[in-house]
Chains A and B, each alone.
Chain A
Amino acid sequence: QQQVKQSPQSLIVQKGGISIINCAYENTAFDYFPWYQQFPGKGPALLIAIRPDVSEKKEGRFTISFNKSAKQFSLHIMDSQPGDSATYFCAASKNSGYSTLTFGKGTMLLVSP
């Protein structure tokens, strides 16, 4: 059973465009929703995260939108740049004293020049 469903699997966006990646979760006990960014040959790195007490969080060009009732959250990358080309993973977890993140399958983003 896949607890976090991510779409699309891959995405091509023109430079300057908006990249949107969506995730849906099933476990209502989840209370932490991060996005990780992974470049080839590197491990994932935390990009931005949100907790369900807010509906949106923005950090620079990256925004998470969160819809608790729909159990969905999404990553928006504004003014996408070629350097944003990477694989993006959404994840979710519940408070347990140590990390128990459940990851989505990932979205490979390519930003064309």
Chain B
Amino acid sequence: ETGVTQTPRHLVMGMTNKKSLKCEQHLGHNAMYWYKQSAKKPLELMFVYSLEERVENNSVPSRFSPECPNSSHLFLHLHTLQPEDSALYLCASSQEVGRTTNEKLFFGSGTQLSVL
């Protein structure tokens, strides 16, 4: 295992539902990420939290709302999603040291989301 745990593994939701994805890392890292993986498309970086502060928000629609209560936990709150939001949502973590980038990302196994 990578030390990054995501729940649930699978989620089916209607367009009017509200749900949350959870990620927990057991590696002592100080940066956490949400990525979206769709078929035949590059992994898309959605959000970055470094030292529990959001530092990146790559033009993600407001129907996706991240939360990072501490350095070990990351949530992605979902509401009024569209069918095109169906994808694998991956959480990752890394250890950043000052301005020196330690690029190794540790990914969880993802949540496969289907929006009906």
Residue numbers of A with Cβ under 8 A of B are 2, 4, 9, 32, 34, 36, 41-46, 49, 89, 93, 95-106
Contacts and interface: CB of A to CB of B under 8 A. Distances in A.
Q: Is the interface of A mostly helix, strand, loop or mixed?
A: loop
A54 B56 CA distance: 30
Interface residues of B, number: 29
B55 A98 contact: yes
Contacts, number: 77
B82 to A, nearest CB: 22
Contact of A99 (B31, B90, B108, B110): B31
B100 A98 contact: no
A97 B50 contact: yes
Interface string B87-107: 000101010101111011111
A87 to B, nearest CB: 10
Contacts of A93: 101, 103
Interface stretch (B11-19, B36-44, B69-77): B36-44
B4 interface: yes
B96 A43 contact: no
B101 A97 contact: yes
